């Protein structure tokens, strides 16, 4: 079994800091199924998905066939923006539970910090990306959605709840009103988007960050945002040589050494295995990587490109 570091969430549950991401598999569920099954065999125990990814079925099938006890696998999925009205939250989760073939999820996140019009629970089956982007924004206070999320915890359908793509002001507002504080905030984190203020704030508040796109976007360069090639970045190559590791391992451990989870996505078996390596880095090297953010701050995943909606994320 791989040596995967973990932390205890404010909900009391153990959270593996290296997870297997399944975004981008909409057009290739078989790849996600095979990748997830291999990841579990390799030692991953944290699988990240979302209703809108349309990979929950593939993930659920892989978990079932893995033979690994359900309680040993940490499953994260997410509430999509058109299901924010309180009356839709539990039904949305129940659809995800059915897809995943489980009676609870370990972590349920509000995927984006805004709501769009409800178009039915089957909208993904009849809505193109372009049509989804044209969905009207509606006014559903985050706290109203959060109250419905808290009820899921009370009913045992969810063990921990959290958010995704939330800024410090959004977290401040939620923390001032919530009964159950968010356990996790999943955001884009990599050397060109280090978000140091958010990292420090989250530590102070006991919220664990999960960094998506920790490698930039090598498999989808320019598809959802700016082109980010981190695997060939000179400093990363230099540090890979210093630590006798691969560039991707340096990038992932940059996040792990800063104290947050990373969820790399790959369908390559050797890459899936190599992404599971954990090692300590010198603070001076972590600081040097953070300084790359001062040269240029860019996003691999732009909400306007993905969702057709603009809002301030950093």
Q: What is the DSSP string of 242-286?
A: HHT--HHHHHHHHHHHTT-EE------HHHHHHTT------HHHH
Which of 242, 226, 208, 241 lies closest to 300 in space, CA to CA?
Answer: 226
CA torsion angle 292 297 300 304 (round to 10): 180
Angle (CA) 203 209 215, round 5°: 130
Residues 218 and 231: beta-carbon distance below 8 Å:
yes
Contacts of 249 (CB under 8 A, 6+ apart): 240, 243, 274, 275, 277, 279
| Residues recognised as catalytic | 53
| Helix (H) and strand (E) counts in the chain | 14, 12
Beta bridge partners of 47: 20, 75
Query: Helix (H, G, I), strand (E, B), or coil: what is residue 1?
Result: coil
In this structure, the number of other CB atoms found within 10 A of the CB of residue 71 comes to 8
Residues 311 and 114: beta-carbon distance below 8 Å:
yes
Contacts of 263 (CB under 8 A, 6+ apart): 18, 19, 20, 21, 46, 48, 186, 210, 211, 212, 214
Q: Which residue has the tokens 């090598």?
A: 218
């Amino acid at each position: 079994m791989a040596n995967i570091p973990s932390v205890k969430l404010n909900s009391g549950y153990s959270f593996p800091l290296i997870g297997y991401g399944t975004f981008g598999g909409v057009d290739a569920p078989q790849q996600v199924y095979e990748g997830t099954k291999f990841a579990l065999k390799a030692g991953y125990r944290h699988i990240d998905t979302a209703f809108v990814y349309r990979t929950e079925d593939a993930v659920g099938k892989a978990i079932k066939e893995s033979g690994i006890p359900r309680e040993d696998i940490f499953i994260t999925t997410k509430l999509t923006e058109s299901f924010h009205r309180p009356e839709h939250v539990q039904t949305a989760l129940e659809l995800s539970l059915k897809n995943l073939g489980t009676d609870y999820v370990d972590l349920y996140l509000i995927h984006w910090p805004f709501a769009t019009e409800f178009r039915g629970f089957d909208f993904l089956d009849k809505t193109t990306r372009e049509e989804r982007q044209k969905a009207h924004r509606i006014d559903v206070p985050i706290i109203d959605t959060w109250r419905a999320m808290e009820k899921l915890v009370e009913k045992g359908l969810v063990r921990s709840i959290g958010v995704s793509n939330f800024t410090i002001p959004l977290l401040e507002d939620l923390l001032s009103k919530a009964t159950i504080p968010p356990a996790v905030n999943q955001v884009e984190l990599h050397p060109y988007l280090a978000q140091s203020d958010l990292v420090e704030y989250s530590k102070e508040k006991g919220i664990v960050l999960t960094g998506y796109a920790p490698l930039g976007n090598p498999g989808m360069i320019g598809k959802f945002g700016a082109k980010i090639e981190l695997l060939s970045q000179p400093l990363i190559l230099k540090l890979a040589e210093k630590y006798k590791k691969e560039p991707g391992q340096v990038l992932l451990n940059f996040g792990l050494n800063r104290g947050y989870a990373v969820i790399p996505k790959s369908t390559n078996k050797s890459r899936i295995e190599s992404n599971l390596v954990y090692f300590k880095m010198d603070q001076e090297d972590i600081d040097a990587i953070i300084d790359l953010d001062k040269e240029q701050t860019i996003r691999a995943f732009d909400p306007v490109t993905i969702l057709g909606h603009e809002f301030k994320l950093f």
